């Protein structure tokens, strides 16, 4: 009964797996080892987004709670996620019918795998790549598990491993799946489209790895946070290069 209920919940919430593709026993074993080693670096970020929009001479305001996947990049807790996923109203930010539409993120917290909620703050936004970087308000008491391994540049049809974390409704569980690189883009900016894993579990901000555990990149919404677009992987090298701005290095 629990298994059936969980399967229904996965489908209803958009976390249903796609039809599995065949992998060898060695590939599955390597993927499980990768998940065991790196899954703690995939965290949920909790926040409240305050949306304000003028209408008829009055201001309409509402609070939107969000739960967003993020990827921890260093032991000090610097993490990256999709700007669009963190601020769902960012696509609406701009001129509304009655004036300026604005949004503000408050009560930002990193929820770790050991059930701690660590207050955090935004340190850098990159709307062009749909990335936002955050870090704990106070240095963590102990180093956080991070994606600090080598990067990888996959080719078309290469196997990849996606590691995500489920929302509270599904118990904050690790969610892993296989996928393949379906498209490689170089201009106007480099990114990878993967499937079926990219659409299997929904969401953005989680890391993608190659079959050997190399860091491929982070899932974002290509086309800019304000213009919408395609869910695709921002290459790891680009993510780390931008992260240098967030750390001042």
CATH tag for 21-39+148-247 (out of 3.60.20.10, 3.40.50.300, 2.40.10.10, 2.40.37.10):
2.40.10.10
The mean of the pLDDT values for the chain is 84
Q: Which region holds residue 223: left if phi is over 0, alpha if psi is between -120 and 50, else beta?
A: left
Rg for the chain, CA atoms, rounded: 18
pTM: 0.84
Better-predicted residue by pLDDT, 175 or 20: 175
Q: Token pair for residue 221?
A: 């919404």
Confidence category of residue 227, pLDDT binned at 50, 70, 90: very low
**Residues near 4 by beta carbon (within 8 Å), at least 6 away in sequence:** none
pLDDT of residue 222: 85
**3-class SS shares of the chain: helix, strand, coil, % to 5:** 20, 45, 35
Closest C-alpha among 207, 212, 227, 243 to residue 42? 207
Domain 21-39+148-247 and domain 41-136, same fold? Reply is yes
CATH tag for 41-136 (out of 3.30.70.270, 2.40.10.10, 3.40.50.300, 2.60.40.1170):
2.40.10.10
Q: 160 to each of 23, 137, 176, 177, 212, how far by Cα in Å?
A: 11, 33, 11, 9, 9
* Sequence ranges of the domains in the chain: 21-39+148-247, 41-136
């Amino acid at each position: 009964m629990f298994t059936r209920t969980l399967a229904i919940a996965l489908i209803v919430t958009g976390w249903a797996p796609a039809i599995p593709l065949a992998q060898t026993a060695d590939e599955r074993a390597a993927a499980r080892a990768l998940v065991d080693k790196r899954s703690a670096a995939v965290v949920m970020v909790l926040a409240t987004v305050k949306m304000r929009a003028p209408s008829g001479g009055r201001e309409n305001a509402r609070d939107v709670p969000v739960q967003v996947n993020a990827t921890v990049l260093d032991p000090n807790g610097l993490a990256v996620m999709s700007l669009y996923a963190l601020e769902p109203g960012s696509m609406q930010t701009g001129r509304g019918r009655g004036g300026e539409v604005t949004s503000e993120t408050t009560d930002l917290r990193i929820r770790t795998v050991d059930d701690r909620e660590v207050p955090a703050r935004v340190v850098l936004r990159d709307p062009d790549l749909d990335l936002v970087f955050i870090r704990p308000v106070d240095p963590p008491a102990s180093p956080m598990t991070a994606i600090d391994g080598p990067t990888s540049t996959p080719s078309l049809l290469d196997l990849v491993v996606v590691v995500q974390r489920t929302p509270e409704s599904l118990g904050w569980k690790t969610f892993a799946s296989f996928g393949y690189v379906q498209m490689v883009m170089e201009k106007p900016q480099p990114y990878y489209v993967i499937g079926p894993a990219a659409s299997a579990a929904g969401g953005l901000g989680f890391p993608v790895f190659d079959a050997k555990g190399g860091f491929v990149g982070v899932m974002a919404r290509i086309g800019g946070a304000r213009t919408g677009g395609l869910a695709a992987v921002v290459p790891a090298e680009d993510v780390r290069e931008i992260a240098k701005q967030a750390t001042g290095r």
